[in-house]
Amino acid sequence: MNSVMEEFANLSKIIEMIAAQMGSDCEVVLHDISRGFENSIVKICNGHVTNRKEGGCGTNFGLEKLMGSPSEDQYSYISQMQNGHLLKSSTMYLRDDQGEIIGAICINLDITEFVAAIHTINKFAGFNYGSPQKDTQGDEIFVNNVGELINHFINEWQGILGKPAATMTRDEKIRAVEFFDSKGVFLITRAGDRISEFLHVSKFTLYQYLEAARKNCERPADAPKIPIPD
């Protein structure tokens, strides 16, 4: 297989079958990376689970894979959405004949009601088997568009630093750029505009900060080259 769309008809049937089997609380998604991270969703069933639709974007985990992090398939990991709902998810990566990732099939089952029922039964029966353990990678962020994902990372950085951008020093802004770069933010089209606005710097200054950040952070020799923000 050289492209997702080449096998779209068959893959679409698989997506529909899984969704029909698992029910309305199970979202099943087909991603085509060739369309860009911002519009990678080409097929989705039960999109109400994460409030996404066709033409939407992937999650922060997807960005990490594009950054060159380990890309083994992942099964049955637990994540929590911003609205507090718990998801049990699995991701299978689709590869071309050269082994490069070209897409993914993702299953997101909303288990919130199951967990609530477990707690109720445990409380009534006097047992406590605990809650599902979250995946060690942290929460997976499901958003309607990449702007929301960028804002999530901005809020995450502000929580780490504990001060607003207006009071950041030059070194702190470089650290912020290094943080955003490590999350793959600059793979998102026009992310540079939003980060420049957040840091109150020009695009030229952002470019300088990014160059400095990348000099401070050595990447593996086989890691892909990350573009300068547009």
Pair (50, 152) in one structural domain? no
- Domain span at 205: 146-216
The number of folded domains in the chain is 2
Binned at pLDDT 50, 70 and 90, residue 12 comes out as very high
Q: Is 187 exposed, middle or buried (CB count within 10 Å of its CB: 0-12, 13-18, 19+)?
A: buried
Cα 129 to Cα 14, 77, 126, 199, distances in angstroms: 35, 18, 10, 46
Within a domain: residue 134?
no
Pair (61, 93) in one structural domain? yes
Q: What is the pLDDT of residue 103?
A: 93
Instruction: Give dist(CA 99, CA 78) in Å, integer.
Output: 27
Pair (109, 156) in one structural domain? no
In the chain, the percentage of residues whose pLDDT exceeds 70 is 85
Size (the chain), residues: 230
Q: What is the pLDDT of residue 67?
A: 67
* Threshold 0.95, pTM exceeds: no
Instruction: Give yes or no for residue 217 having a pLDDT over 80.
Output: no
Binned at pLDDT 50, 70 and 90, residue 223 comes out as very low
Instruction: Give dist(CA 177, CA 183) in Å, integer.
Output: 10
Q: What is the pLDDT of residue 128?
A: 55
Pair (100, 182) in one structural domain? no
Q: Which residue has the higher pLDDT, 53 or 82?
A: 53
Within a domain: residue 140?
no
